[in-house]
Structure 1
Amino acid sequence: MASDKISPPSDMMAAIFKSKADARIMRLYKILSTSTGVDTTLTLVGFSLFFVSSQLSTLRNLETKVLGRLFADNAKALKYGSASIVKLADLETSMKLLAGMCSDFRAFTRLWGLLGIYAMVKRDYFNPPKDAILNAVSWSQAGTLGLYYFYENGYYLAAKGVLRGWAGPDIKRWAKTSLKMFLAYVALEYVRLYRERQLLEVKRAKAVSAKENEDVEREEGAWVRTALMNVCYAPLGVHWVSENGIMSDGWVGGLMSLIGVVKFRAAWTLAA
């Protein structure tokens, strides 16, 4: 007669589920279980791919010039080199397409970003920051970020053909306005960071217990992360609102990848 008892898991499976790899997988699962975590991960992955593809483009152009000079009279070597260039071009295209998919998904999820602005306004209304400067900045940032989402949602839906009757210049104008609102938000973030730095210095001076010092150190760590991201966002914002841009794809990919690393490391720590 067959036994009704459930056999215990094998030693191999138990070892897998108790391994460091399993712990990392579960932390990644926890991060990707939230919309913020998905956005953070796609920022890191998407712009890392964008950065690498820009370097492949540079490498491909360099290889083309070198091959043309060295093997101009050697058809066999030139043919082999040309095949290598084609492979680099294919890899570059694949990376750019995957990076574009990450960016498009992030833009799609921002369609309901105005709900977050509503929650932000509600929080400031019922529980405003005690500091008058931080309170004013928070309300101003809610306004600029709300307009950013509004204009971005509009031009995104128009570009996808959901909103009909939009001409190309209209989409471009809304896109630029959206990015200008984002740049205004970044500028206000500098004001907020400066004021928070002042308040942290006061709090540190008043801290006496070990717990109070730990709280200040934790807040300072968060401040440094936010400040680093804002330093990256500032030139990116100027680049995006400029008519022809001020940075190469490599710089854009590199700065956004750095932002992704900072955000992902914070998410990784919280998921522990």
Structure 2
Amino acid sequence: MPSSMPSSMATITYKHLQTLLHRTAIRTDAHLTHLNRVLASSAGVEALLCTLSYTLLFVHSRLIRLLEKRYERLALAFVTKASSPLITGVASIAPPRTRLSELCAGTKALADLIDDFRFFTRLWGLIAIYSRARENYFSPPGDAVLKTLVWVQVGVSAVFQGLENGAYLAGKGVLRGEKWVARGPRWMVLSNRLWLAQVVVEGLRLWRVRQLRYNEEFGAKGGAGVSSFDGGEVKVLSEVLRKKWYGDFYANAGWLPLTLHRSVEDESTVPLSDTWIGLFGIIPGLVALKEVWQQTGE
């Protein structure tokens, strides 16, 4: 009887492991299938790359800090042990290449690559802006204030995108000539300032939607509340808009300090470090990624 117990325990353990592996495989398949649906949409790709880009920027800033501390310790140890004739040549000694330094360089290179790809995919952003203008023309919000704010957003976004496209193409050498080279940096700063204006207008739009109790489609037609409407559809719509409002608010709050930072023309006086830029940028990325993830769920 006792000799059969180890065999029974082994059988139970094997079955438990088999069940665990089967469940893990099912969950992995479900997540990968869901991720494929996310990446099948341009919004999903942008949300994922935005989150990844700012996450890499944050990680890179922390790795650089660790690397600087390590170099400081190495320099201090070298100066302490080295003789006087060697100390005079310390300034010409290149920092040693370590795994940490290579990781820093690789992280920065990947972040720059993602940023460049995101700039490139925004070259046709004017088409999406036109689509929003068309939607606002044929199916405007019920509230006149919201309608005006959307038109302001469309106008600001169009100029912002045009300036960014010009600056990007000039920086890549597509638009050539001394005038384009001189315009590029200035246009990029102007585009960022218009991006800041767009964020401010979005804040006003969100404030107006909150005034209408998250019911922008019906707010101007039937009063500020949903109680004046019959049926449950309006209440459901208002609840959906209420949840979306908070997501839009957090995303806009994340963009605000970034747009302020990038609106500064003199890079030596920029207010935010890469650490804070990464942290603030992760917020709208995660909000957008969560929204796309929910939309593509089965």
Task: Quote the offset at 1:193 in angstroms.
Answer: 0.5
* TM-score, normalised with respect to structure 2: 0.78
SS at match of 1:255: helix
CA apart distance, 1:90: 1.0
Whether 1:262 and 2:284 are equivalent positions in the alignment is no
Residue in 1 that maps onto 2:14: none
Distance 1:210 1:135, change over 3 A: closer
- 2:252 matched to 1:239? no
* 3-state secondary structure, aligned to 2:132: helix
TM-score under structure 1 normalisation? 0.85
Which residue type is aligned with residue 164 of structure 2?
E
Structure 1 pair 141–63 and aligned structure 2 pair: CA distance change class (3 A): same
Native 8 Å contact 2:149 2:201 kept in 1: yes
In structure 1, runs of 5+ residues without a counterpart are 1-14, 76-81
Aligned with 1:226 (options 234, 243, 248): 248
| Alpha-carbon shift at residue 205 of structure 1 (Å) | 5.3
Alpha-carbon distance in 1 for matches of 2:228, 2:81:
76
2-structure distance, mates of 1:167, 1:83: 37
For structure 2, the residue ranges without an aligned partner over 5 or more in a row are 1-21, 83-93, 215-223
Q: How does 1:3-42 map to 2 (within 5 A)?
A: 19-42=26-49
| Counterpart-to-counterpart distance in 2, 1:269 and 1:174 | 37
User: C-alpha distance in 1, partners of 2:142/2:236?
Assistant: 22
Say how many residue pairs are matched: 254
Q: Counterpart of 1:52 in 2: which secondary structure?
A: helix
Secondary structure (helix, strand or coil) at the match of 1:196 reads helix
Q: Which amino acid aligns with 2:57?
A: F
What letter is aligned with 1:146?
A: A
SS in 1 for 2:141: coil
Rounded to whole Å, the distance in 1 between the matches of 2:198 and 2:180 is 28
Matches within 5 A, 1:149-168: 149-165=161-177, 166-168=179-181
Tell me the equivalent position of 2:110. Answer: 98
After superposition, give the CA deviation of every residue in 1:18-37 in whole Å (9 maximum; x if it has no partner): 71111111111111111111
Q: Residue type matched to 2:43 in 1? A: T
CA distance in 2, matches of 1:94, 1:59: 15
Alignment of 1:120-199 (within 5 A): 120-165=132-177, 166-199=179-212
Q: What is the distance in 1 between the residues matched to 2:96 and 2:183? A: 42
Q: CA deviation at 1:58?
A: 0.9
- 1:42-100 per-residue CA deviation (whole Å, 9 max, x = no partner) reads 1011111111011100111122223444675468xxxxxx9997221111110111111
AA matched with 1:105:
F
The answer on whether the counterparts of 1:16 and 1:22 sit within 8 Å (CA) in structure 2 is no
Distance in 1, matches of 2:57 and 2:230, equals 47
Change (3 A) 1:66 1:155: same
C-alpha deviations, 1:215-250, integer Å up to 9, x for none? 333211110010011111111111001123210011
* 234-243 or 60-69, which deviates more: 60-69
Query: 1:250 is matched with which residue?
Result: 275
Distance in 1 (CA, whole Å) between partners of 2:126 and 2:102 is 38
* RMSD over aligned Cα atoms: 2.6
Aligned match of 2:53 = 46
Correspondence for 1:6 = none
User: Alpha carbons of 1:60 and 1:17: their partners in 2 closer, same or farther (altered >3 Å)?
Assistant: closer
The SS at the match of 1:19 is: helix
Indicate the SS of the match to 2:176: coil
1:74-113 aligned at under 5 Å gives the runs 86-113=98-125
* Percent of matched pairs sharing the same residue: 33
